[in-house]
Amino acid sequence: MDAAIAAPDPRPGQTTSQRAPAARRILATGLALGVLADIALHAAPDGLGWTLWVLALALGAWYVTRQRQSAATREELAWLATAVACAAAFSWRDSDELRGTNVLGTLAALAMFAMAAAGLPAPSVLAARVRDVISAGIYTIRDLVVGAPLLALRDAEPGNLPAVRGGASWSALRAVLLTVPLVLVFAVLLSRADPVFASIFRLPALDMERIFQHVVIVGAFSWWSAGWLRGALLDDTWRPALPPRLPLRLGLAEVTTSLGAVAVLFAVFVALQLRWLFGGAEVVLATTGLTVAEYARRGFFELVTVAVLVLPLILATGAAIDDGRVARRHQLLSLALLVLLAAIIASALLRMRLYVGHFGLTEDRLYATALVAWLAVVSLAMSFTVLRGRAQAFAAITLISGFATLGALNVLNPDRLVAQVNLTRASEGEEVDYAYLARLDGDAMPTVVQALKLAAPSPETCKAATAMRSRWLRLRNISWNVGGRRGRAAVVDGLSADDLRRLCAGAPPAGG
């Protein structure tokens, strides 16, 4: 029994003579990364600063790996490259939703590098289960929070440094630390007591708010960098994954009732979808009182939520089973759920097609569609991996397909695609919501400006053009984001005062 529950041996650690210098090297690298973050985020905002810092972090990880006399593996290099690519996309695209997703992609890739470098909870994403990936994320968060203090106070062995044990350098440092505060305190007091003395010992004017900002940025990024590097490249404690089974145990009745009821519910829903799919507008109008367009508009995001919840449901219930007969029943019902989920996903995508055809495309609709498409891939992967006893491949397929979806979104340029789809509706005689297009981010602006220059004068085009020019004239500090720079140039240089006067002919502009 003890052998069955004993934890595996931790990964081999470094000797004491190797560990302390490696810890000090990581501390120095973390401090350098903190200083670089402060410089980059202030000197190159709007994306490039983040990109440069992530690139420096990747190079720092590569440097520390080389210094520990072990070359980085191909998987480790691939995850670092993925993190840098996501960070580069952050300064490439000017779309708030996409930029936020790119940041999440960067953090996920860094967490996977830490798992691959540590070899725990799994030596590779190709050998990892879902619980290993979740555990890797949890350990990365823990390293970011507590890694730096452990590194500085324990791993680096500060008590064994020659300067701490004694010597002239330590005495000089203590003398400086004691003298400077005393001199400053008494100089301030005496300066206030005598104006002549104050003119001699005048302290430089300090912007304490700005100094505080620099200290916070340097400290935070140094802390996070050092903690992450320690967890990935130095920590030799055992990092178990989440337990393979939940404390709760489900029997045959619970599994059959719960999953069976959900499957029946899905089957009824799919059958109703087939009615309107083949019956058309007449069936929808007769049964719901809605047109096909209105019917398509309702429920799409609810169907997305259903698709998101089914996969965790199957994984969670499977983790609460330890009986072979119950596991087989769970497998059959889960497969039925995935088949029905495929039909629900197809219904959601068809609804979105009708939805866009009648009401146009928005960023939310585009990202929800991309999420549904990714969930379709994950569902198919689950049916061929988890439900066939090959759960290790499922986590890898989920992660890789997720990064592939993110890459595809960056290549497609969502904001520009939204603008193009909506403007195409104008050639088909549909109304264009120029007010919405004017609120899109920089990637869409060249397309929108080109359309406005060809549009007929109207109150809508006048308000959109005026709002765009007013907005982008105010945004000056965007030179470090490629999409933002192009968007501002398109509006400021391409949408002239003559264009505004033409679009606003007979309709006074809403602003200057």
CA atoms within 13 A on the CB side of 333: 26
Compare 508 and 114 and report the one with higher pLDDT.
114
**pLDDT score for 12:** 47
Mean pLDDT over residues 134-148, rounded? 94
**Residues contacting residue 25 through CB under 8 Å, at least 6 positions apart:** 64, 67
Asked whether the beta carbons of 480 and 439 are under 8 A apart, the reply is no
pLDDT tens for 150-172 read: 999 888 887 666 555 555 666 77
Round to whole Å and give the CA distance between 474 and 471. Answer: 5
- Residue reference for tokens 């830490």: 114
Confidence check: pLDDT of 509 > 70: no
Taken as a whole, the chain contains a residue count of 512
**pLDDT score for 124:** 92
Mean pLDDT over residues 81-107, rounded? 95
Q: What is the mean pLDDT of the chain?
A: 85
Round to whole Å and give the CA distance between 338 and 150. Answer: 46
Separation in Å, CA 407 to CA 99, 106, 401, 434, 446: 12, 12, 10, 28, 22
Mean pLDDT over residues 204-209, rounded? 69
pTM: predicted TM-score of the whole model, two decimal places:
0.85
Confidence check: pLDDT of 45 > 80: no
Round to whole Å and give the CA distance between 170 and 222. Answer: 24
**pLDDT score for 290:** 60
Confidence check: pLDDT of 473 > 80: yes
Compare 21 and 222 and report the one with higher pLDDT.
222
Asked whether the beta carbons of 413 and 375 are under 8 A apart, the reply is no
Q: Which 3 state secondary structure label does DSSP give 303?
A: helix
Least confident of 130-134, 227-231, 502-506: 502-506
Supply 346's token pair.
Answer: 């197809």
Confidence check: pLDDT of 512 > 60: no
Q: What is the DSSP string of 412-433?
A: H-HHHHHHHHHHHHHHTT----
Percent of the chain at pLDDT > 70 equals 85
Mean pLDDT over residues 392-408, rounded? 95
Least confident of 80-94, 187-201, 205-219, 485-499: 187-201
Mean pLDDT over residues 172-197, rounded? 79
Least confident of 22-26, 115-119, 158-162, 283-287: 283-287
Prior bond of 121 cis (ω within 30°)? yes
